[in-house]
């Protein structure tokens, strides 16, 4: 069953990891999918090729989410190529660890530019083209309400902003028939945070099911939120799956 047949989706940061899995899953559900990437054209083209091999249309666009002009151009190119935009998945994001005592303003500005400003601009541009039934799905983090390690406070701040914006926009865009949700993955097995990495044993103690999640599991939730069954779901966050730490 192609639940997204005839729909067009844009997935920012869709060349690898969670973003790539989301792009492939939305395409498998029938959507034409545009992805953005910052550096690796080879990886982006591989995702686009996999989508086309699955029988869907795809487009890869180089666009650094810190660059407002590039974000706007990515939305415009998606609409110009496919004729519409129904689903925006804000997946692009960066993580820079550091203690607040010596965290540089340059790193702060970069984190805000990608994780908050780029997301804001993508939404602002996308809603100009969305009709009733549109979907905005942000990829946040459990760090927005629980930080299990030192050095992650600035990252948590940016993801907290995403969570707050999601709740506000759900109210603002609801009358337009557009839903806004925030998927907050916990520990997902990616190149950035592998399940066999140096911190894995520590993180496993905080996960209720005692294992890392997979990119495909995140993608399945995003596909549900993008589909018709989720038309009444908005302002929600999902995939937390953590245990309460012991005192």
155 is catalytic: yes
Task: Give the list of residues 6+ apart from residue 42 with CB closer than 8 angstroms, or none.
Answer: none
Q: For the beta carbon of residue 202, count every other beta carbon within 10 angstroms.
A: 11
Of the candidates 37, 103, 155, 224, the residue annotated as catalytic is: 155
How many helices (H) and strands (E) in the chain? 8, 7
- For 150-177, b/e burial (b = at least 16 CB within 10 A) is eebebbbbbbbbbbebbbebbeebeeee
Strands (E), the chain: 8-11, 32-37, 58-62, 87-90, 135-139, 179-183, 237-238
Active site residues: 155
């Amino acid at each position: 069953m192609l639940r997204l047949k005839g729909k067009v989706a844009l997935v920012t940061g869709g060349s690898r990891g969670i973003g790539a899995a989301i792009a492939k899953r939305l395409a498998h559900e029938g959507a034409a999918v545009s992805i953005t990437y910052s550096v690796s054209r080879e990886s982006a083209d591989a995702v686009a090729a996999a989508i086309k091999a699955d029988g869907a249309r795809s487009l890869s666009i180089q666009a650094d989410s810190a660059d407002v002009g590039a974000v706007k151009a990515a939305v415009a190119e998606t609409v110009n190529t496919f004729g519409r935009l129904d689903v925006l998945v804000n997946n692009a994001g960066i993580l820079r660890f550091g203690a607040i005592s010596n965290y540089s303003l340059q790193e702060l500005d970069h984190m805000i530019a990608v994780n908050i400003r780029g997301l804001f601009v993508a939404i602002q541009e996308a809603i100009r083209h969305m009709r009733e039934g549109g979907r905005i799905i942000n990829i946040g983090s459990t760090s927005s309400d629980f930080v299990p390690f030192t050095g992650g406070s600035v990252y948590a701040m940016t993801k907290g902003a995403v969570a707050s914006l999601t709740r506000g926009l759900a109210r603002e865009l609801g009358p337009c028939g557009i839903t806004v949700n925030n998927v907050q993955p916990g520990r997902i097995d990616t190149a950035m945070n592998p399940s066999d990495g140096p911190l894995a044993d520590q993180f496993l103690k905080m996960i209720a099911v005692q294992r890392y999640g997979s990119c495909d599991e995140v993608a399945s939730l995003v596909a549900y939120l993008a589909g018709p069954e989720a038309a009444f779901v908005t302002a929600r966050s999902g995939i937390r799956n953590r245990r309460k730490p012991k005192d």
